Structure 1
Amino acid sequence: MAEETSRTAFVELQGRMIETTAKMKQVQNQMRGKEGEKKRAYLTLEELRQLPDDTNTYKSIGMERCFFWFLLMVSRFVLEPKSLLMTEQEQKFKESESAIASLQTSKEYLEKQMAEVKNNLRELLQQDPSLARQIMSMSVV
């Protein structure tokens, strides 16, 4: 009976470990994406700052597919004042920073969960050496 309880606990902890690992990877990927957005906004702002204030700039508003002999992607642009583009890029930069801070909090929480699960697994295996032997004897296919 105790052996069955240990196995059930192990399977549950293993599931939590897999779930937490998947969530951690998702958060890390989201952080990388937001870091990229932040960097693009920063670099765009740096380039815009070098232009005179009365400069009109072009903003990309998306892609359109055109069919000729082959599929061709065509960008569409709209003429806008520099100040409007700077405001948009500053907003993107701030939103990215905020999202990164939020994701960092989530990452720290998941790291604590992961440490807790690892600790629980370690304790379970120390309490039930026969379970540890069974796990070690399993072959990975």
Structure 2
Amino acid sequence: MASLSTNITAFQLRSGKAWFAVVLVSAMGLAGYQQLFSTFAPYDDEGYVMLSLASYRDGKPLYDETSTQYGPALFALQSAFHTVTGLPISHDVTRLRTLSAWLLIAALAGALVYRLTGHFWLASASSGVAFLHLDRFCL
């Protein structure tokens, strides 16, 4: 009987941690969504990059007919994303794609810390810190 009680407690502990992770990612997602869709950074080049991507997708070569300061990998990856998903090049899609990458990177940072240390709470804190520090890159 003692082992059954221990197993239930271990299951409850894992379940509680899973719910905490879901709440943490949801909170980061809401905060990121609010920030991406309600603020404007004066250095923002979102529209410029979107126009350059549309030009690239129209078949105009980079640096010759499509003016850009970014490398070809960015345009190849973004073009592939829009081709595969069929989504238009728009501010909403661009910002949601940015939010997805932002959350994924923060989650991967937490997963890496968990893999290295085995401490759930340290990994959760690391994920939150990574999310907060990435906010300047995601705007």
Which TM-score applies when normalising by structure 2? 0.32
Greater per-residue helix proportion: 2
- 1 or 2 for the larger relative contact order (CA 8 Å, sep ≥6)? 1
